[in-house]
Amino acid sequence: MDEKEAISGHFRDDFLWGTATASYQIEGGWNEDGKSQSVWDKHAHTEGKIDDQTNGDIACDSYHKYKDDVQIMKNLKVNSYRLSLSWSRLLPTGDSSAPNAAGVAYYNKLIDNLLENNIKPCVTLYHWDLPQCLHENGGWQSDDIVEKFKEYANFCFNAFGDRVKLWITINEPHVNATLGYGLGHHAPGIMGRKYAVCFRRLDYLKNIYIPDPMNACYMVSRTMLLAHAAAWHEYDTNYRSKQNGMVSISLNSDWAEPKDASNPKDAAAAIEYLQCSLGWFANPIFGSGDFPVYMREHIAQKSKEEGLSKSRLPEFSEEEIKYIKGTYDFFGLNHYTTRLCEQLNEHNEMHKFHPDLDVILLPDPTWDRAGSLWLYIVPWGLRRLLKYISKTYGNPKIIITENGCSTKHDPNATSGLAVLEDTQRCNYLKSYINEALKAVVQDGVDLRGYFAWSLLDNFEWKAGYTERFGIHYVDFKDPERKRTPRKSAAVFREIIVENGFK
């Protein structure tokens, strides 16, 4: 049988089917009812940061329209919903002894409404919208944040854990660290010194140079891992026995395929890339407790070559390693796309994109592209990644906490075929979910759930509203922010109702 052919079959009876969103991307109500500013409010309000000069001030207005969201989910037949909490809505000063009652009430109403409709909430504590006041006190660049995050997690477990049984501490620390503290495309917009050097050849970045000898993105990866571990331990020690839920983290990863599978250098390049991207966060939590050996040695060597007295990658103490290792109840995976890898050489060095990686990542020119520049459609990559995670990290329970496909938004289209007939997204969902099914039935991967990104078109970070990921179209020109199902909503519903493929 052709490996690429779709199979029929079913997922587990208790499989979680859901859609995913994030607070800043959908809620709006950015300064309502006592919410304080987050780093994303500040960033999006800064001129020149967002491609279409928009922001999440109103977004999908889910702060007021959450019942509409729940109804469209009910129609979809999902049994779960992944949402994130806005830290600055719940704890405007970052202090858990001064919570914002209106913020707590909002999430209570949303959670209760979901449960009344038989939809289980899966709650992310932090999807990148750090309270601005905490950022101003050092944020992820200061060790104090670990205690602050623990306090916040404790507050949320206490307030919502009687009803929320699935928690995600941090969404995609890799993206948050590299885009927020390395490339500067995301809040808080810090650009690492080495990234600046690497990207200076790009015209639009020519004049940007922020010296950052501390290399912020590695520093924040350390505090994020410690904060995640602190939240997991808090739950494990104080809540697990009475609340009986699960806590983990959502890590993003592309699949990395050797450009030429018969070339050992390409095979090594793919592994090196996976070690320094997925492994950066997965190895500490799901593996040895520390950053991957390759990553540590490689960055230490690079740092030495630069004349630095110690590695730019921070070190964990023995005690910290023990504290981080094993802090998971499942593996949360966000996956969208795949790249071909080859070792850096004199012919390809113009494609070097990462200051510390001697690996070149390229798409196969025959792959279909979605509406985001980075998103190539490669369904088999998901199966290979699931297999890799299962093998590398001891066959954990895996939940796909994000997977989805974008369309480029045509600002003149408001309805009809152009926005609702999303054939590419329909095929994306069918083919990726089918590959996930192959991973389960043919490779023995322990997959427990799948969340499509996203329930709604929403504020796509730097791309603003120019890229749409929703299985529901949202008209952002309409003050009512009307939601209309796309064809992909019906396709997803069919898969859910069948719990797989006929």
The reply on whether position 171 binds ligand GAL by CB under 6 A is: yes
Tracing tokens 């952002």 back to the chain, one arrives at: 476
Q: How far is CA 477 from CA 18, 38, 174, in A?
A: 27, 24, 33
Q: Would you give the binding string for ligand GAL spanning residues 415-454, x where CB under 6 A is met?
A: --------------------------------------x-
Residue 402 contacts ligand GAL per CB under 6 A: yes
For residue 172, indicate whether it is catalytic: yes
Largest CA distance in the chain: 61
The contact mask relative to ligand GAL for 24-43 (x = CB under 6 A, - = no) is: -x------------------
Judged by CB under 6 A, which of 129, 151, 234, 460 binds ligand GAL? 460
> Is 465 among the residues that bind ligand GAL (CB under 6 A)?
no
The pattern of x and - marking residues 69 through 108 that bind ligand GAL according to CB under 6 A reads: ----------------------------------------
Q: How many residues form the binding site for ligand GAL (CB under 6 A)?
A: 12
| Minimum gap (Å) between residue 458 Cβ and ligand GAL | 8
Segment 245-284, which members bind ligand GAL (CB under 6 A)?
252
Q: How far apart are CA 353 and CA 276, in angstroms?
A: 14
DSSP string, 297-341: HHHHHHHHHTT-SS-SS----HHHHHHHTT--SSEEEE---EEEE
Which CB sits closer to ligand GAL, 273 or 461? Answer: 461
CB of 262 to ligand GAL, least distance (A): 33
Percent of residues in the chain assigned helix, strand, coil, to nearest 5: 40, 15, 40
Q: Could you tell me the two tokens for 373?
A: 């520049």
Least distance to ligand GAL from the beta carbon of 225, Å?
18
At residue 480, what is the residue type?
Answer: E
Which among 27, 151, 172, 234 is annotated as catalytic? Answer: 172
Q: Could you tell me if 366 and 301 are in contact, meaning their C-beta atoms sit under 8 angstroms apart?
A: no
Helix (H, G, I), strand (E, B) or coil at 483: strand
Binding flags for ligand GAL, 310-349, as an x/- string (CB under 6 A):
------------------------x---------------
Selecting among 27, 234, 272, 402, the annotated active-site residue is 402
User: What's the CA gap between 408 and 253, in Å, rounded?
Assistant: 22
Contact call for residues 469 and 457 (beta carbons, < 8 A): yes
Query: Which tokens in the block code for residue 375?
Result: 């998103």
The correct pick among 22, 190, 230, 249 for binding ligand GAL (CB under 6 A) is 22
What span, in angstroms and rounded, lies between the C-alpha atoms of 270 and 257? 6
Contact yes or no for 184/191 (Cβ under 8 A): yes
**Which of 6, 102, 175, 214 touches ligand GAL by CB under 6 A?**
175
Establish whether 3 is a catalytic residue: no
Spell out the SS3 assignment of 58-85.
CCCCHHHHHHHHHHHHHHHCCCEEEEEC
On the CB side of 335, how many CA atoms lie within 13 Å of its CA?
31
Q: Is it true that the peptide bond before 99 is cis, omega within 30 degrees of 0?
A: no
Query: Nearer Cβ to ligand GAL, position 167 or 469?
Result: 469
- Residue placing its CB nearer to ligand GAL in the complex, 179 or 324: 179
User: Is 300 one of the binding residues for ligand GAL (CB under 6 A)?
Assistant: no
Residues taking part in catalysis? 172, 402
Residues of the shown chain interacting with ligand GAL in the complex, contacts defined by CB under 6 A? 22, 25, 171-172, 175, 252, 334, 402, 453, 460-461, 469
